[in-house]
Amino acid sequence: MFLSHMFSRRGFLRSSLLGATMLGALASAAPALAQTNALYGPVAENPTMGGRLNMGLLVEPPGLDPFHQAADARIRVTVLMYQGLFYESPTGEAAPLLAESYTVSDDGLVYTIKLREGVVFHTGQPMTAKDVAYSYNYIRNAENGSPGAGDFSVVSDIVVKDDYTVEIKLSEPNASMPMTLGNKYGAIIPAGYFDDENAKNRMNSQSVGTGPFKLVEFAPNSHVILDKNADYWEKGMPYLDGIDFSILPNSASMLIALKNNRVDLVPLSRPQDVQQIEGVEGLTIERWPSLGQTAIDLGAETAPLDNVLVRQAISLATDKKEMMQASIGDFGTVLGTVPAGLQEKWGLPLDQVPMQGPDVEAAKAKLAEAGMADGFTLTLTTINGYDWMDPAAVTLREQLAKIDVTLDIQRVDLGVWIKNFRSKQMGLTFNDWATQPDPNLLFYRHFHMQPKGADFRNWNNAEASALLDDARASSNAEERAEIYTKFQKILAETVPTIMLFSPDHITVRRERVNNYSQHPTGWYYGLARTYLSE
């Protein structure tokens, strides 16, 4: 969820930066890769089989348990070992993965899912409906301590019809149910797996999923080794014999390792790192659209942020483009009310988004209307270790100074920040989060009133919550889009959050790496379709 990034126009934009010399020149990216909804990325036409890929990771997965660990660094890697019933295709559809097909009852309350046959777990056992029921029953029971439990709260029952058919019953209609059965939290694992009290720990040394790769070794602060799953259900996949992830937290060292052939593929997050390797022979830099977003959150729990006029004034005074330029240059897209990867399909057209800056006069008028024309002081919280936040914070301070709002910048550790966020005491803060390609999963939990949502920003907006309920219940895509448009207008008008920009995913690969595509979530699905040409 944290530290994911984004961008998009029509589906995937992919831009090769090889040979480019200036950041400015890099912004005019040329669309190249044909859009595909094939699982995990495009199938290669004439791949070379075998070989091991060395991938460098700047951020280490804190653990490899898909049921109890929410960190994005975990999901990026575990999607290669574990699978849910559906795959989050980049264009926003839930494509059947371990499911083969499904039907929905007329009232939208029963999903009957036909399962793929011939799927075998890494343990050698065949996958059947009872494993599916066990896995989802485990995750939806909050007593089992999964961060994904909340997403499954509308599931009322899971019924095994036969070995390869399962019925998922809902307490209320939920159009994003298939996407929820994707790969972010949980996965299909053998029934009864967690009965063993040591099972949670074992997930860090042995994978029990159905994915294209198996876990061989996870050594803290050093490496993660995956081998090809020889019994994988997709015939002829994956192409690689294995993947060796090397964990190297220092980007300067990582770039040197890349130059000297120690790694084949590295995801980068800082434009200054990209600049250092531009023009290096044998390296190809690519940019990918993202579902991540950087944002200013405005918690309404205390004055003056409880005053909608003040929040509107801040929104009007904010120059998103200038903030993006200051923190990541042109390596991203300025946002309206959804991450860039969702804009095309679900976003309120950018020219219709209200309260967009920079408009200093309008912002001052709002403050005058609130009786605060003389300005005031606010504390902005930023998180240590998020590189974009420091330049963005300083830029925002300059922007708000124009309406006589003084910004005190306070840097905190992630642990402190999460505590404030979860206890709904966030005040004015930067945020960095990502979503699956679905508006319900993006908005509902964050913005719906309690108790159904978490409403972290104390927005408490009944009208917006009703719209979120309607959109979730609607099975008609057009109607859903219309309702979400209304919702986004309210969101922009009353400003519980100001979505700033989506930083692109940037990958650097050596020439021998072929057919890697970066999924907009930032997860490494593309490795299941990658091959080496030497």
Chain residues that interact with other proteins, rule: CB under 8 A: 1-2, 54, 56, 60, 62-63, 65, 68-71, 142-151, 185, 198, 200-205, 218-223, 244, 246-250, 252-253, 256-257, 259-260, 262-263, 413-416, 418-419, 421-422, 433, 445-446, 454, 456
What's the rounded Cα separation, in Å, for the pair 206 and 5? 30
Backbone angles phi, psi at 6, to 5 degrees: -160, -175
Residue 74 or 287 with smaller CB distance to other proteins? 74
Cα 443 to Cα 125, 182, 383, 465, 471, distances in angstroms: 38, 17, 22, 10, 11
Residue with tokens 């200036």: 22
CB-nearer residue toward other proteins: 244 or 273: 244
Please report which helix (H) or strand (E) contains residue 255, including its range: helix 251-259
Q: How far is the CB of 316 from other proteins (least distance, A)?
A: 27
Q: How many CA atoms lie within 13 A of 267 on its CB side?
A: 28
CB 152 within 8 A of CB 445: no
CA distance 446 to 455: 5
Q: How many residues does the chain have?
A: 534
> In angstroms, what is the minimal distance from the CB of 62 to other proteins?
5
Smallest gap from Cβ 433 to other proteins, in A, equals 6
Of 276 and 485, which has the nearer Cβ to other proteins?
A: 276
Residues 186, 444, 490: CA angle, nearest 5 degrees: 160
- Which is closer to other proteins, CB of 259 or CB of 486? 259
Instruction: Please identify, using beta-carbon distances, which residue of 377 and 423 lies nearer to other proteins.
Output: 423
8 Å CB contact between 36 and 44? no
CB of 125 to other proteins, least distance (A): 22
Shortest distance in whole angstroms from residue 463 CB to other proteins: 24
In the complex, minimum distance from the CB of residue 383 to other proteins, in angstroms, rounded to a whole number = 12
Minimum Å gap between C-beta 222 and other proteins is: 4
Nearer to other proteins, 457 or 529 (CB): 457
Q: In one letter, which amino acid is 527?
A: L
> Distance between the two ends of the chain, CA-based, in angstroms?
35
Neighbouring residues of 362: CB distance < 8 A, sequence distance ≥ 6: 316
Under DSSP, is residue 382 helix (H, G, I), strand (E, B) or coil? strand
d(CA 90, CA 327): 26
Nearest residue (CB) to other proteins, 156 versus 377: 156
CB crowding 228-237: b at 16 or more within 10 Å, else e: bbeebbeeeb
Q: For tokens 């095994």, name the residue.
A: 160
Give the pairing of strands 376-383 and 405-412.
parallel
Measure the CA–CA gap between 274 and 328, rounded to whole angstroms: 11
Judged by CB, which is closer to other proteins: 36, or 144? 144
Question: In terms of CB distance, is 33 or 70 closer to other proteins?
Answer: 70
Residue 468 beta carbon to other proteins: minimum distance, rounded to whole angstroms? 17
- Shortest distance, position 93 Cβ to other proteins, whole Å: 23
CB of 503 to other proteins, least distance (A): 18
Please, what is the minimum distance in Å from the beta carbon of residue 116 to other proteins? 28
485's CB contacts (< 8 A; 6+ apart) are: 348
C-alpha to C-alpha distances, 353 to 306, 347, 356, 365, 494, nearest whole angstrom: 22, 10, 7, 19, 12
Minimum CB distance to other proteins, residue 249 (Å): 5
Residue 131, φ and ψ in degrees, nearest 5: -70, -40
Shorter beta-carbon distance to other proteins: residue 19 or 145: 145
Closest to other proteins by CB, 38 or 414: 414
Tell me whether residue 264 or residue 319 sits nearer to other proteins (CB atom).
Answer: 264
DSSP 269-331: --HHHHHHHTT-TTEEEEEE--BEEEEEEE-TTSTTTTSHHHHHHHHHH--HHHHHHHHHTTS
With respect to other proteins, which residue has the nearer C-beta, 19 or 282? Answer: 282
What is the number of other CB atoms lying within 10 angstroms of the CB of residue 350?
12
Q: Are 26 and 17 in contact (CB under 8 A)?
A: yes
CB of 333 to other proteins, least distance (A): 22
- Helices 439-447 & 477-494 angle (0-180, nearest 10): 40
Q: What is the DSSP string of 227-241?
A: EE-TT-SSTT--SSS
